[in-house]
Amino acid sequence: MAIPIILDCDPGTDDAFAVLLALASPEIEVLAITVAGGNVGLECTLPNVLALVALAGADVPVYAGADRPLLGAFVNETRVHGVDGLGGVALPAGGEPADGVAADVIRRVLREARRNVTLVGIAPATNLALALITEPALAEKVERIVLMTGAWAEGNATPAAEFNAFNDPEALAVLFACGRPVVLATLELTAQALCTPAHLARFRAAGTGRCMRALCDIQATVPLGPRFAGAGSALHDPCAIAWLIRPELFTTRDCTVTMDLGPGPSRGRTVIDRWRRTGAPFNATVLETLDPDGFFSLLGERLARLP
């Protein structure tokens, strides 16, 4: 039976892979896609999602959400994603967003669902947190929360903080405290999903559909930065979707995670106790290792199914 999910995103180049992987996978039933600002502003992330859904020929409602975090403002990453979020690759325009605000829609879907719903967050966690802090009892309808966020070592937005966590650490703290199982794909995990030019060439050879062509064109715009010595760039967000589809590709560790919410250079750091130093109860499962060959095989096979 397909896993019912709400997918919260901020496309973003790697979000594009994640959105289309979810839409291409029968193991997942995407009930709704909610959108926040983050990688770029909401004025770009929302039409990006609408264009991706239309490109896939999918019938999934898309809802606009937060254009700012619970506190302050989002810090965009145009150096990686381009000013439009998709590296300047122009997709045919999609349809219109569905009526409703993301947090309200998340609550409604949870309230009406006959089975518990998995929340998948590959953006700053604002929309998900707003839904749960305004109606906390609905957490009982959440099967689990799967997030691409955090790092147990070095960040990528700051030396301490990963991008999504840095953009709304208060929202992330809400999710860690809500009492539902949380699964984290951190930077250490997503670094193992390193997309090299050779992977991109195999993707182009695997399918000739418009979705695969668009994704390859988008990924080709991502700079090969110094973090991986120019060898490639990490496909962060698809890791969260891949875990839902093929958990056997991953190893995991139960951990205790807290957020650094203070001002200063450590703000947004996910403090991940992997070795039970604090003795505090576990509140998250951290994905630790990935089978990269299996991951890229899955990604290529599923994306080749799309039109």
Active-site annotation holder among 107, 144, 199, 236: 236
**Terminal CA-CA length for the chain:** 24
Please report which helix (H) or strand (E) contains residue 284, including its range: strand 284-290
CB-based contact 16:41 (threshold 8 Å): no
For 295, list phi and psi in degrees, rounded to 5: -65, -50
236 is catalytic: yes
Max CA pair span of the chain: 52
Report residue 152 CA to chain centroid gap. 18
Matching residue, tokens 């958990």: 247
Q: Is the peptide bond before 41 cis (omega within 30 degrees of 0)?
A: no
Question: Which of 148, 64, 124 lies closest to 98 in space, CA to CA?
Answer: 64
CB-based contact 255:151 (threshold 8 Å): no
The CA distance from 167 to 299, in Å, is 28
Which residues are the active-site residues?
236
